[in-house]
Structure 1
Amino acid sequence: MFSRGAVRRTKMQGVKSLASDTISFSGVIEAKSGETIEHALVTGFYIDEHWLLSHLSSANTRITLVAEHRLNEQLGDSRVTRITPPKPKASVQIMHSKLMILYFASHMRFVVSTASMTPYGWSVVQNAVFIQDFPRAKGRVYTANSFSLALAYALHDLSVPHELIGLLNEVKFADARAHIVTTVPSGAGGNMEEYGAERLARVLKEAGADPENQGLDDIDEFRPNGRLYCVGSSLGPLDDKWLRDMYVCAHGLSPLKLGWPGVKTLPNSLVDIGVAFHTQQQVEQCRYGSEVGEQHIYAQRKAYEDKKFPHSAMVRLEPVVDKTLVHAKVILARMGESQRAGWMYIGSHNFTPAAWGRMNSKSYYSNNYEFGVVLCNVEYSSDSSSVRWDGREVPLPFKLTWEPYGRSDTPYLK
């Protein structure tokens, strides 16, 4: 069912929905063939071990956990290996990647979600999940490609044991069509141009996502043609300069390689970005209680009230299920004159400098471990009501609206 890759919404507690649109955590880890998971690699900001291991109950399933916070640790379970990747500046850097790799006898399941690994994360806040199955043949070594190499490097960055990374050799990734984008905290990796916003720009350039700006060498030749709709559950210290850098990267161009800070010559009026975030009122009206917002939605009051914050970029985030909250991290990019084609990102990256990195004239700085995928050749309907990828509609957990904040609207602040 996931052989060619699919995006799903997570199933909401007490809400009826089409089976083709939503998926539960049980559905994610279940194999149609009835096979048992031999090894599960699970990463997350929060991992509720008691809840997770109740789903991964087979005595034959080995489990590797990479997390920032572990809730209800099951210390007596010998099946479990626990890892915390290195953080050179631990007081400000976090492990936020949300990735699962499930090894069955006949295939490997690749899962990128926006949900924390907790029961609430999969049932009372809306998230998005990308899933693809790849054939596996034990003892065989398949030829590596750009996807498998990017995945291996990402696992290495997360300090995943080499023997587990080595299992990727048994997997045939020829049908992979998603592009992996990761971030590591500054100081934890090597060449920072391989991560975050710089990695996004490189992926989009290699995929030819914006033919109009392909191969530019100077920012003065840049022809902005994109519109970005950026959804997240965290709101950080944004400013016009950072939005300009991200906007250039969204066209497959690197601000650092275009003679930064020359990118400053791009007028703010041409940076077409909507930052979608829940309002205070929406959190207060959540059907599951406002405490859900306290646990899953975060915006820095100091950052939002800073005079440099681009308040005009804020737009309302409308969930597809009324009076619920969206925890997804998604970027939708509409490119070109018609705005009918483009790309989308789904993963753990919130639309913040901590997740995507911040550039200056000589360097790039980021705070977090993040993981996500970019899907190219996305199609948008003329009335902005739907998104399609691979010929199928993408069931997003939010509506494709572009309604600016009203005068009385403020994001949910802490």
Structure 2
Amino acid sequence: MMLRTIKRLSSRPVHILGLSTYNYSHNSTLSYRKLTTSASSQTIKREEQAETATVKKEEPDEEKPKLSTMLNLDRAQMEKDRLARLKRKKSDDSHVPQAKHIKTLATQTLTFKKEESVDPLPEPSTSRRGPFMTLRDLQERVASYVPRHTQYLDGVVKKTYVEGRERTPNDIKLEEVFQKDTLQTAVLSAYVWEFLWVLQKLNVGECDLVLVLHAKEDEMVHHYRRNLCNIPRTRLCFPNMSGNVNCMHSKLQLLFHLTYLRVVVPTANMTPYDWGEALGTGRSEGVMENSVFIIDFPELPKTSATPDSNPSHTHFSRQLLHFCKAKGLPADIIEKLDKVYDFSRSKPLGFVYSIGGSHHGTEALKNGVCGLATAVRDLGLKTKKPMEVDYVTSSIGSLNKEFLLRMFRALHGDDGKISVQGIPKKYSSRQLAEPAAAADESTESESEEEDQSDNKLWQDIRSSVRVYFPSRRTVAASKGGIQNGGTICFQRKWFNSSTFPQSLLHDCQSVRRGMLMHNKALLT
């Protein structure tokens, strides 16, 4: 169970209990009991002081529209019934402030959404229907859909909106990323989830969902299957985490809309905390900011694609497709991603990923630091010129000279065969399946060259690389304080290690004063 607190006019705080699991039976606590019109003022007063479970049934009128799609309820009829109840209560007992407060709060919320939304979505249909769209519903959505306000055909990086801060054209909310009114299929991946919060951002039952989850042990897999099985039109995906793979940290989103595919790479998990929403308990501001890369791909003209090939594929789309296959996404998602969309405008972009486990041969050159070097080279950006590097991060591990040398070489477009992989020289030829004799000659000469260049390269790194991470003072002075800095990760033992490059660290402070940054960005 998760506990939230709201404030009401002229009364003490009321605790509302929300479900964190998904067994939506008719007898669950998500059902609502109507107030009787014959209740006296004393009865209503006693009910206001009842336990949280009773309040749950009477109060959360604002919650009902958000959850109705999951419960197969009619939203328009629910609103009509609610207004009728409020009218009856007002005539029977005019001194009760409760109904007035709820009505005012609902009006304020509606006004706020209209005034502050950067890219307003079409008004939801008021037609009386179940959770599945009819052909008429689909036609209405297509007619009201205006893609020029929402599509990012050349890609864009935006900051997550932070509640309590002024909106700007450069920030975005999760609702604006999803654009649920035209969303047909959503593939959502994250390391940390708050499922009920995410589902409230979607038209559950009207679009297909694929949730990609971190679960190494079978027990966790069974837990997810058991608790998420009642979400309609939803499939679960568990990437392979066998062997020494211990983390599924990807946050990729694939959002299939009526006429285009949206690819989203956020630094935020699927939690309100990461997307800038207030934490509750009286707090009116968010405490954390993240960043989001978004790019939209229109459908191919019907005459452009053949059943077996997509002529628009680029380095970006091919690596995206390879990564999605490695994650184990359903075959229908892979096929649609491969054959339906025009990726030609992603030609200037690269897609770099990391897949856990051991990799050999050409597979090794696509992955991690090797993949970074390959992307730099394939985009024609390989260079030997001096380079300034700024690296913003929210997590630092046991950073050392060897890793930084590999990263720095990769940014210059290192060929990815020896230094980037960090494989001992005598094994590098075996790793790449090259002829033994030729490999011995090449690795011997390359070893001498690299050994001679390491010292000079390290001097370049110390003068031109900056790693940004918040200091303890910055975390303590942030809006959330030390207690809300748990996703900003670093250990004292690593910092105090003799091999840690302390001189490269710089304090990371957001231009939105008081915000902690969960961003990951590498700028050259």
1:105/1:136 contact within 8 Å kept: no
Give, in angstroms, the shift of residue 265 of structure 1.
Answer: 4.1
Q: Residues 207-242 of structure 1, C-alpha deviation per residue, up to 9 Å, x if partnerless?
A: 22244x3xxxxxxxxx5x011111111010011121
Give the match for residue 285 of structure 1.
477
Q: Which has the larger radius of gyration?
A: 2
Q: Distance in 1 between matches of 2:156 and 2:416?
A: 32
Which residue identity lines up with residue 276 of structure 1 in the other structure? Y
Give, in angstroms, the shift of residue 248 of structure 1.
Answer: 1.0
Q: Distance in 1 between matches of 2:359 and 2:457?
A: 34
Moved more, 170-179 or 181-190: 181-190
Give the match for residue 174 of structure 2.
25
Alignment of 1:131 onto 2:281: no
Matched pairs, number: 316
Structure (1 or 2) with the greater strand fraction = 1
Which residue identity lines up with residue 240 of structure 2 in the other structure? P
How many percent identity over aligned positions? 25
Give the match for residue 501 of structure 2.
310
Q: Residues 302-331 of structure 1, C-alpha deviation per residue, up to 9 Å, x if partnerless?
A: 211211111111111120111110000000
Matched ranges for 1:236-315 at <5 A: 236-254=397-415, 256-257=417-418, 259=446, 262=451, 264-271=454-461, 272-294=464-486, 296-315=487-506
Give, in angstroms, the shift of residue 55 of structure 1.
Answer: 0.9
Give the match for residue 158 of structure 2.
8
Give, in angstroms, the shift of residue 286 of structure 1.
Answer: 1.5
1:201/1:250 contact within 8 Å kept: yes
Alignment of 1:175 onto 2:345: yes
Give the match for residue 438 of structure 2.
none
Q: Secondary structure at the match of 2:485?
A: helix
Give, in angstroms, the shift of residue 133 of structure 1.
Answer: 1.1
Give the match for residue 186 of structure 1.
357
Give, in angstroms, the shift of residue 290 of structure 1.
Answer: 2.4
Q: Secondary structure at the match of 2:274?
A: helix
5+ residue gaps, structure 2, are: 1-150, 277-286, 420-445
Q: Secondary structure at the match of 2:345?
A: coil
Q: Distance in 2 between matches of 1:189 and 1:7?
A: 33
Q: Distance in 2 between matches of 1:67 and 1:231?
A: 26
Pick closer, same or farther for the CA change 1:64–1:138 going to 2, 3 Å. farther
Q: Distance in 1 between matches of 2:250 and 2:407?
A: 20
5+ residue gaps, structure 1, are: 214-222, 334-414
Among 98, 111, 119, the residue aligned to 2:264: 111
* TM-score for both structures, normalised by structure 2: 0.57
Structure (1 or 2) with the greater helix fraction = 2
Give the match for residue 88 of structure 2.
none
Among 56, 59, 66, the residue aligned to 2:212: 66
2:381/2:413 contact within 8 Å kept: yes
Give, in angstroms, the shift of residue 138 of structure 1.
Answer: 9.3
Q: Secondary structure at the match of 2:352?
A: strand
Structure with more relative contact order (C-alpha pairs < 8 Å, separation 6 or more): 1
Give, in angstroms, the shift of residue 139 of structure 1.
Answer: 7.2
Alignment of 1:45 onto 2:45: no
What is the RMSD computed on CA atoms of the aligned residues?
2.3
Which residue identity lines up with residue 351 of structure 2 in the other structure? I
Give, in angstroms, the shift of residue 254 of structure 1.
Answer: 3.6
Give the match for residue 391 of structure 2.
230
Q: Distance in 1 between matches of 2:167 and 2:390?
A: 25
Matched ranges for 1:331-370 at <5 A: 331-333=522-524
1:88/1:188 contact within 8 Å kept: no
1:136/1:172 contact within 8 Å kept: yes
Alignment of 1:93 onto 2:239: no
Pick closer, same or farther for the CA change 1:227–1:94 going to 2, 3 Å. same
Give the match for residue 145 of structure 1.
314
Give the match for residue 84 of structure 1.
238
